[in-house]
Amino acid sequence: MFTGIVEEIGEVVGVRESAEVVVLTVRGRTVTSDARHGDSIAVNGVCLTVVDPDGSIDGTFTVELVPETLKRTSLSAVATGARVNLERAMPATGRLGGHIVQGHVDGVATLLSRTPGERSDELRFSLPPELARYVVEKGSIAVDGVSLTVAGVTSDSFVVALIPTTLSHTTLGLREAGDTVNLEADVIAKYVERLAAGYVGGDRPAGAVTVGEEARAQ
């Protein structure tokens, strides 16, 4: 699990195809300081596994992108020299500084516009129809692995406001209109929807009773 608090901006230093996977080599001095084989590192919000047999020994780490990852995320278009957001998995004793981020990308969006302000930049992104129901004003969303608060939302777009720290410490400060980003909706919203589905417009789970039914039974 991650928190959406980016630790550093890394650089893709190698891209190669091997059988059915794409192998990325990424440079990141902070996230590799204790990286071991099998560790999880989020790259632009995508949870990936370090496959270097001895972990990192030179400030880089290697990950493999399977077809499912290539199909669902913007990493399918990543090239050597690309800057990427990096975050190590949160330890059990760590602080949940952002929100619960799984590193399981739900979809890809496009940066529609960027409006610079005196203290912050306002960015508007497209909102895939299948994700719209999970995005609410003042709720949380991960954009390229960055935990952000939704400042405004319509049926097909949402807006976030980026403070100077976010602009300088993540790749969102470099994004331009037309760029694609990875989105991950708040997992809590997904669970609420799943649990409520049996009570709102659908069949209730077997054995479930409503508060009213429970009261009448007493």
Per-residue model confidence as pLDDT tens digits over 139-194: 999 999 999 999 999 999 999 999 999 999 999 999 999 999 999 999 999 999 88
How would you classify the pairing of strands 140-143 and 146-153? Answer: antiparallel
Q: What is the pTM of this model?
A: 0.88
Beta strands in 118-185 (DSSP E): 121-126, 140-143, 146-153, 157-162, 180-185
| Phi, psi dihedral angles at 153 (to 5 degrees) | -150, 140
Per-residue model confidence as pLDDT tens digits over 29-55: 999 999 999 999 999 999 999 999 988
Distance CA 174, CA 29 (A): 20
